[in-house]
Amino acid sequence: MTSPLRFSKHSRTAAAVVLVAVFMTNLDLLIVNVALPAMGETFSGGGGGATLGSLSWVLNAYAITFAALLVVAGRAGDRIGQRPVFLAGIAVFTLASLGCALAPNLGTLVVARVVQAVGASAQIPTSLALLLATVPAERRTQATRSWAAVGGLAAAAGPVVGGLLVEVDWRWVFAVNLPIGIAALVAGRSVLPKPAARESGPLPDLLGALLVISSVATLSGALVQAPDRGWTSGRTVLLLAVAVVGGGAFVLRSLRHPHPLFELHLLRLPRFGAANAGTLAFGVAFAIMLLSNVLWCQEVWHWSALRTGVALVPAPALVPVVTLLTVRAAQRFGHGPLVAAGGLLFTGGMVWLACFASVTPDYLRDLLPSQVMAGAGIGLTLGTLVAAGVHALPGHRAATGSALVNSVRQISVTVGVAVLVAVVGSHVGAASRPDFRIVWCVAAVLGLATAVIGVHLSRGGGSGRTASAASKEPEADAPAQGARIFVGGHDARTRSV
């Protein structure tokens, strides 16, 4: 057994560098939502005519690029080495954050967000592998939990941090990454380990990545412009056609390519296919909830960004708490019941908003109950769907299957934002109340669909590892057995010596 004394100050510093960088990347995902209305005021005032549809690309350009490059970056880390890819990711993300902060117009900001996503896609897949290499074997389970907890901490802090920064200037939402990124880069060059590259094979299909980007981007473009240009306008129809053709080409290429971006044939496994369908439906609903709450508070209730951020804390704060409290329940009852319960709770939160939200602010009646129900639902559902998908796969396909699940989550965020814009329209105000009710009902229906998928998973529909088998997967109580954790395009194994 490795001695705990091996966990030196040097190793602790290296672990801190990884966790800080991961926190920075996760925090950015949430604080940008809070800053979106302020960005719109800046660019509209400058003559840019920024609408909600055009502003949505600040979110969607990031999510689409991240989803398409996640697997490629993970495999690059295996071939080149985790350390150089991780450090390059920090450097690119930090420089792109500077570009976002200085962006003179909306187009420049969207381009900088794309570059940010390139950096994030290099950091996230390699971060866990580096973290596991910094700690002794007997501490790797604890390190993995810390890595996972960083996302929950960033989610809980995001709304308030975003609100505070926007009170100064929305550009600080991006500028705050500069000192963090520079410090992580400088320290990382000195203390991060240098695990050897583990693969020499080809990268996943790069043309497939471009097809994903083009098809999802054109679908989003069609949805966000339809309220202004019309659903039957030539441009909208053309974008939808490109999305369909690009998506079809990607599917055909993935099924035939020797090294596809996503192994789509895994979707034929019933439980894995069901888990991905649930991830897509719930991800769309989650994105609708997150952005609609921000817009409702700031554009309908006319609250400040800080007040909005504080008001939205309950939902993200509940997510890690509920997730931790239900770990043993998932092991005992399986994933299906948790997904079903979570979907119903989320649906309840959306129905509550549709029924009670008024243009006259009443936080305790209108928003807080919805936040509590939705937050508990997200905690029960989001991570459980990922686990259900991975546990439905053969062991040798757990990593590539996880890549598909995580990319579906990112794509669902893009679709959710686009659906919100398509329903609410480009200009939001008190008169948009009926449109908000429609979009909340859409999110409720998707939450209900997720609950139905949870019932299907409860019945053990299809092949793949069952819930009982999944509960036998290695946990913290049995570290000697090893554990497989997805880290982008590959997997990392934790083993005790």
For residue 496, is it within any domain?
Answer: no
The verdict on 172 and 235 lying in the same domain is: no
Of 335, 416, 410, the residue nearest 380 (C-alpha): 335
Burial track 146-184 (b if 16+ CB lie within 10 A, e otherwise): bbbebbbbbbbbbbbbbbbbbeeebbbbbbbbeebbeeb
Token duo for residue 146: 């810390």
For residue 2, what is the DSSP state? Answer: -
pLDDT for position 455: 94
pLDDT for position 448: 97
pLDDT for position 57: 93
pLDDT for position 473: 37
The verdict on 414 and 357 lying in the same domain is: yes
For residue 33, is it within any domain?
Answer: yes
pLDDT for position 397: 65
The verdict on 79 and 169 lying in the same domain is: yes
Domain CATH code at residue 126: 1.20.1250.20
Domain count, the chain: 3
For residue 363, is it within any domain?
Answer: yes
Give the DSSP H or E segment for 470: helix 467-470
The verdict on 184 and 127 lying in the same domain is: yes
Final residue belonging to a domain, choices 260, 285, 300: 260
Q: Tens digit of pLDDT for each residue in 391-430?
A: 877 766 666 676 788 788 889 999 999 999 999 987 788 8
The verdict on 325 and 395 lying in the same domain is: yes
For residue 2, is it within any domain?
Answer: no
Q: Tens digit of pLDDT for each residue in 126-174?
A: 887 788 777 777 676 666 667 766 777 787 788 888 899 999 999 999 9
Compute the radius of gyration of the chain from its Cα atoms.
Answer: 22
For residue 497, is it within any domain?
Answer: no
The verdict on 126 and 156 lying in the same domain is: yes
pLDDT for position 384: 87
For residue 455, is it within any domain?
Answer: yes
Final residue belonging to a domain, choices 158, 175, 198: 198
The verdict on 336 and 466 lying in the same domain is: yes
Token duo for residue 63: 């999510």
For residue 3, is it within any domain?
Answer: no
The verdict on 362 and 420 lying in the same domain is: yes
The verdict on 56 and 165 lying in the same domain is: yes
Domain that holds residue 111: 9-198
- Rounded to the nearest 5°, which phi and psi values hold at 489? -90, 5
The verdict on 37 and 165 lying in the same domain is: yes
For residue 149, is it within any domain?
Answer: yes
pLDDT for position 471: 36
pLDDT for position 496: 29
pLDDT for position 396: 62
List of the chain residues with pLDDT < 70? 1-10, 45-49, 138, 140-145, 148-149, 196-201, 395-400, 402, 460-497
pLDDT for position 145: 62
pLDDT for position 48: 47
Final residue belonging to a domain, choices 198, 215, 232: 198
Look at the block and give the residue holding tokens 């008190």.
430
The verdict on 311 and 167 lying in the same domain is: no
The pTM of the full predicted model, rounded to 2 decimals, is 0.83
For residue 464, what is the DSSP state? Answer: S
The verdict on 79 and 38 lying in the same domain is: yes
pLDDT for position 19: 87
Write the DSSP assignment of 306-372 as a string of letters.
HHHHHHT-HHHHHHHHHHHHTHHHHHHH-HHHHHHHHHHHHHHHHHHHHHH--SS--HHHHTHHHHH
